Amino acid sequence: MRYLFEIAYKGTNYHGWQRQKNATSVQQVVEETLSTILRTNISIIGSGRTDTGVHCRQQYFHLEFENSMPDNILFTSNNFLPPDISIKSVRPITDEGHARFSATSRSYEYWISQHKDPFSKDLQYYFNRSLNIKTMNEAAALLIGKKDFESFSRVKTEVNNFICDITEASWEKSGGNLIFHISANRFLRGMVRAIVGTLLEVGLGKKASNSMESIIIAKDRKKAGAAAPAHGLFLTEVIYPQEIFLD
């Protein structure tokens, strides 16, 4: 039987989602925990990767388990897992259902604090320079649509193509915070942080708002801005078609 788990985590103490040889990842901790609880070797497949220090309010992974999932799996898992990782739900899915390939949409938020806050240093990027939100939103609007985003992808990334369909890209001001919202069918490695870094240059007046068009056309990472720091980034939502669920 295939099961889809919903998970949330604070990424500060982890070298991203994916297992690595010489560093602790979220995937490693979850696999080891579930292997102990279910008394068999558990391997999981996530809905996507996150970089070191990136957080997730909603992420998914699936696994194969021959028996029925124990009724107390959420309670037991959360007792075993460290405080910065939480399993939120588990549902049986079809054999064709896949945490990564069945997802139809993913959403991220990037949080910027314009006032120094010692209690959010791992959860927001402190950036106290004046920004023009209007021009940043004008530039962000040019991202929307089905386009080649190679200019915002980490170099030497092994993908079949760089086409993504962005359905939302906008900034909002909330108190002393700036929040960037972006949704798409898929994202390239490092894409959101590269977009945020580029939009910050627009907000500072270093790039014109309409320069986003030429950056996209160039398909050259050097044309975009430097990546924003990882700790301000949150994966917030992953959407699946209802037909993959068995309950």
DSSP code, position 227: P
Can you point out the beta strands (E) in the chain?
2-9, 45-46, 55-64, 85-93, 105-113, 125-126, 145-148, 163-174, 177-184, 233-239
* Alpha-carbon radius of gyration of the chain: 19
The encoded tokens of residue 21 equal 């040889």
Residue from 51, 71, 117, 220 carrying the catalytic annotation: 51
User: Residues of 19-50 as b/e, b for ≥16 C-beta within 10 angstroms?
Assistant: beeeeebbbbbbbebbeebbeeebebebbbeb
Catalytic: 51? yes
The set of catalytic residues is: 51
